[in-house]
Amino acid sequence: MTVHYLSENNSILNHFVAQLRDVGVQGDRMRFRQNLHRIGEVMAYEISKNLHYAPAAVTTPLGVKETAFIADEVVVCSILRAGLALHEGLLSFFDGAENGFVSAYRHHPNNDDYFEIVAEYMAVPNLTGKTLILADPMLATGFSAEAVYKKLAEKFTPAQVHLAVVIAAPEGVAYLQEHLPDSVHLWVASLDSHLNEKKYIVPGLGDAGDLAYGVKL
């Protein structure tokens, strides 16, 4: 797996991530979703630098300009719920992309800290031969991303896979390095310190799904 750390260079991306984290701003759910959307746009731009291009001509009122257009067939696929707002941002740049949605949540069967990932709902187009961009703001243990990747890989063979996450824990990055193929690209807006005993990212931002859409039962 190739990891791209987007905060290695200072950019306005860091402002959007900082607002997601800030307890004084988080109460504004619309701004939280809007910042995920804006980060999705920035990530789309960064990922676009790794896609394949083919030459094509554009006719202007004054002549013809040879340029290069994305040749890959892009599919944006979000991991529900928290991936949705990021998905919309990616889609606003990859506006011709196909779309997929897969669910993943932490199930605590014993009402303690132990959990299993349940990935059951999957609504996706054919991914074989296409460029799959998986969107999920949080990479904590890496179990959700792994479960979703494997569920999709059972049925399809994408030509390229890009996993776009906003905040990652080192433990999750290391886990995916071991469990996903070398060909996968991981895009990280910010790398944090560690996971706490509940496997939440520290300092992180809290629960991204709840902050975007409200607390679930």
Ligand X SMILES: O=P(O)(O)OC[C@H]1O[C@H](OP(=O)(O)OP(=O)(O)O)[C@H](O)[C@@H]1O
Applying CB under 6 A, the residues found at the interface with ligand URA are: 82, 138, 140, 200-201, 204, 207-209
Binding site for Mg ion (CB under 5 A): 207, 209
Tell me how many residues contact ligand X (CB under 6 A): 22
| 73: partner contacted, choices ligand X, ligand URA, Mg ion, none (Cβ within 5-8 A by kind) | none
* CA pair distance 135, 137, nearest whole angstrom: 7
To ligand URA, the closest distance from the beta carbon of 100 in angstroms equals 20
To ligand URA, the closest distance from the beta carbon of 58 in angstroms equals 42
Residue 179 is a binding residue for ligand X (CB under 6 A): no
To Mg ion, the closest distance from the beta carbon of 206 in angstroms equals 9
Provide the β-strand partners of residue 65.
58
* CA pair distance 121, 107, nearest whole angstrom: 14
Length of the chain, in residues: 217
Residue 143 is a binding residue for ligand X (CB under 6 A): yes
> Residue 195, class by beta-carbon neighbours within 10 Å (0-12 exposed, 13-18 middle, 19+ buried)?
middle
User: Between 89 and 209, whose beta carbon lies closer to ligand URA?
Assistant: 209
Single out the residue of 174, 161, 171, 211 nearest to residue 192, CA to CA. 171
| 172: partner contacted, choices Mg ion, ligand X, ligand URA, none (Cβ within 5-8 A by kind) | ligand X
